[in-house]
């Protein structure tokens, strides 16, 4: 889903003329090596042979240069607090990186 949204946002911003153009591909961050390999490699993997070719849209988008897959280490992935339980120290680090504040701390 994010790949389609990234392409749409890139085209939308370009058409608005806010910036001259977005020449560089939009970076999709991922911490899963298997997913990255599936997206980048055109050959079929025996484990994923059940996935229909039409669902491999991401490969076409990468080949066109609209999107590129960027690796983000799991410990730096800001989506982690939204998807899994974390130790308190890691959770607090992500909260700071997302600039989330407690309602009682507001001025």
Q: Are residues 66 and 97 in the same domain?
A: no
Q: Are residues 21 and 68 in the same domain?
A: yes
What are the pLDDT digits (tens) for 23-51?
778 888 888 887 787 777 766 556 656 56
Statement: the pTM of the whole predicted model exceeds 0.75: no
What are the pLDDT digits (tens) for 42-90?
665 566 565 655 556 777 778 888 788 888 887 778 777 777 788 888 8
Q: Are residues 61 and 99 in the same domain?
A: no
Containing structural domain, residue 63:
2-72
Distance CA 11, CA 14 (A): 5
How many Cβ atoms are within 10 Å of 89's Cβ, its own excluded?
A: 7
Q: Are residues 98 and 50 in the same domain?
A: no
Q: Are 7 and 15 in contact (CB under 8 A)?
A: no
Q: Are residues 15 and 56 in the same domain?
A: yes
Q: Are residues 52 and 96 in the same domain?
A: no
């Amino acid at each position: 889903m994010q790949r389609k949204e990234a392409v749409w946002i890139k085209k939308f911003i370009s058409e608005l003329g806010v910036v001259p153009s977005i020449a560089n591909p939009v970076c999709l961050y991922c911490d899963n090596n298997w997913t990255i390999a599936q997206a980048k490699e055109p050959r079929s993997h025996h484990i994923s042979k059940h996935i229909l070719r039409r669902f491999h849209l991401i490969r076409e988008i990468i080949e066109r240069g609209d999107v590129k897959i960027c690796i983000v280490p799991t410990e730096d992935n800001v989506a982690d607090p939204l998807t899994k339980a974390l130790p308190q120290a890691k959770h607090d680090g992500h909260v700071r990186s997302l600039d989330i504040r407690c309602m009682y701390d507001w001025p």
